[in-house]
Structure 1
Amino acid sequence: MSIRPVLEARTARPTMEGAGVHLHRAFGFVDPSELDPFLMFDDFRGDHPSDYQAGFPWHPHRGIETITYVLAGAVAHGDSLGNTGTLGAGDVQWMTAGRGILHQEMPRGNAAGQMHGFQLWANLPSPLKMTAPRYQDVRGTDIPEVTDDDGTRVKVIVGSFWGRTGPVDGIAADPQYLDIFVPAGVRKRFKVDTYRRAFAYVFEGAAAFADASAPQGVLLEKEVMGAEVNIRDLSGNRTLVRFGTGNEIVVKAGEQGVRFLLISGAPIEEPVAWHGPIVMNTQAELRQAMAELRNGTFIRPAH
């Protein structure tokens, strides 16, 4: 086994998107090769409706896939294909924009007024940029959860892990998307395919990740603080941990345990031409998409 070194640990930056949703961005719109095939990751959470209720009104996407994972509250959605629905706590939606889709996402709080969710953008390889759009809505009750003897719990959202396979399939990046809880003081190893780019996103508790870059094989531990989430407080640090090459990560949970997402995918390694919600391979393709938005031909009929 080879432990993946910790290349970087950084706190997600506050920003505003949509019609005025306050969120924290772990990565995106800087270097698309950094975590290829993933382009962007946002953590949107708030204690008050004013933080999120303006939502993400109708907007276009082309050339990417998005996954939305809701932890608290709900997200109502609709799209140009006629799909409508609501994601509740624990639910997941994977949207393949392909050749083009218009949709909206409107967050709502729970009984206490709190909302918490994540959105990840994954790139599409050039042969699939103009594929037909589609949605996969998955209820939280359909997401397998496996528990180890030491109390570690893993929800398998996408991919296979510990003998269970997540319900979302057919994703171009062939990702693995896990929601992991490790109890206080427990040291745990998680296998990750050597050829995938991988990152962790700590959002509750604290942990130390072993670093294989220490001299003579000594494991250094870099403490990563996350946000301690409870019903009264959804604020705090949000930390991205970016890993180098290897086939496993090692984590030791802090005094209150740790909960984090572990996400990996096969890099596409293609040129990226990116403007807002549209991601293509060339500037010419990007200009064509923008022209189609202006002249009303962006949404193409099914064929």
Structure 2
Amino acid sequence: MTVRTIQQIIPAIDTSDGAGVQLKRSIGQRQRIRVDPFLMLDAFNSANADDYIAGFPPHPHRGFETVTYMLNGSMIHRDHMGNEGELVAGGVQWMTAGRGVIHEERPQRTDGLMRGFQLWVNLPAREKMKPAHYQNIEPEQVPEVQLASGGQVRVVAGSLDVGGDTVTGPVMGVAADPVYLDLRLQPGETFTYPVPETHNLFIYPYEGSLQVDNRRIQTDHAVVLADGDEVSVQASETGAAFLLLAGKPIGEPIAQYGPFVMNTPEEIDQALKDYQDGRLTE
């Protein structure tokens, strides 16, 4: 086995999106800071309602997928297809924009902690214009695994072998063949995980700190790992919680303008025209 080493560390920066939701953005803070097939990772974490209450009013997407994962609080999702669901703590919404979707996300509390993540996942050219699709995954549908060494893993996508049994996440049928794990390790605990050599991978600690490749990684730093077929991390003396995200790279040109992600500038121009003419979702 070849253990993956650190290729790049990306400190998250403070920004805002939607109607003023305060975020920390690591992957995607600039268009060249991507980890194919992942375009962007935003983390939101605030107990101040002014930082999140305005939410994300109706807006369009084309050409990629959005994945929203809640740790605390809840949001209502509505889209042009008539889907409506409440995303609660521990739940996931995996939305494939494809040809086009117009949706909104509204926080459902006026006080207390709102914490979670939104990940953007690219689509290959052959799938960018397919019909939009929406998966609402309730917390109880996400398997939670107790590790023998003391930690816990929630398996959103991909699989985890435990004691000879394979636990598989509920998200399937996605072009990137993603792995999406949410891990919580005890102080000093080590976690080792086999990852296909075909996949790119990064880790994002959101509580505590980790030792990766003999380096200490603090909260809110995305750690992009080099090629290999295994990843190994160790929690610090205070423990750690982190996301482990991996996916098969697409390897195609990317043209992006805000919420539209295509392969060429001409396709972006067409997306803008379709949206202005009310034809984005047809």
TM-score category, normalised to shorter length: over 0.9
Alignment size in residue pairs: 278
Q: CA deviation at 1:31?
A: 4.0
Task: Look up the match of 2:50.
Answer: 50
Offset at residue 129 of structure 1 (A)? 0.5
TM-score under structure 1 length normalisation = 0.89
How far is 1:29 from its partner?
A: 5.3
Whether the 8 Å contact between 2:98 and 2:132 is mirrored in structure 1 is yes
Q: Which amino acid aligns with 2:248?
A: A
Change (3 A) 1:42 1:183: same
- The residue that corresponds to 1:223 in the other structure is 216
Counterpart CA distance in 1 for 2:268 and 2:98 is 14
CA distance in 2, matches of 1:67, 1:186: 28
Partner of 1:144: 143
> 265-274 or 150-159: which moved more?
150-159
Aligned to 2:206: 203
Q: Structure 2 CA distance, aligned partners of 1:8 and 1:272?
A: 21
Tell me the residue number matched to 1:269.
Answer: 251
In the alignment, is residue 247 of structure 1 matched against residue 229 of structure 2? yes
Distance between the aligned counterparts of 2:46 and 2:4, measured in 1? 33
Q: What corresponds to 2:281 in structure 1?
A: 299
Matched AA of 1:173 = A
2:145–2:153 Cα contact (<8 Å) kept = yes
Match of 2:240 among 258, 266, 271: 258
Structure 1 residue aligned with 2:5? 5
* Matching residue of 2:263: 281
Q: Decide whether the 8 Å contact of 2:78 with 2:85 is kept in 1.
A: yes
- Asked if 1:60 corresponds to 2:51, the answer is no
Contact 1:32–1:272, Cα closer than 8 Å, also in 2:
no
> What does residue 218 of structure 1 align with?
none
Q: Aligned residue for 1:229? A: none
Q: Tell whether the 8 Å contact from 2:262 to 2:268 is kept in structure 1 after alignment.
A: yes
Runs of 4+ that moved beyond 4 A: none
Gaps of 5+ in 2: none
Whether 1:128 and 2:127 are equivalent positions in the alignment is yes
3-state SS, counterpart of residue 270 of structure 1:
coil
Which secondary structure state, in structure 2, belongs to the residue aligned with residue 50 of structure 1?
Answer: helix
Alpha-carbon spacing, 1:29–1:10, altered in 2? closer, same or farther (3 Å): closer
1:267, distance to aligned residue in structure 2 (A): 0.3
Looking at structure 1, the residues matched to 256 and 276 of structure 2 have their Cα atoms a distance apart, in angstroms, of: 17
The equivalent of 1:214 in structure 2 is none
**CA 1:42/1:280 → structure 2, altered by over 3 Å: closer, same or farther?**
same
Question: Within 2, Cα distance between the matches of 1:33 and 1:53?
Answer: 28
What's 1:181 paired with?
Answer: 184
- The separation in 1 between residues aligned to 2:209 and 2:29, in whole angstroms, is 27
Runs of 5+ consecutive residues of structure 1 not aligned to the other structure: 211-220, 227-237
Q: Would you say the 8 A contact 2:72–2:114 is kept in 1?
A: yes
Are residue 192 (structure 1) and residue 181 (structure 2) matched? no
Aligned to 2:113: 114
RMSD of aligned C-alpha atoms?
1.3
- TM-score w.r.t. the length of structure 2 is 0.95
- The aligned counterpart of 1:166 is 169
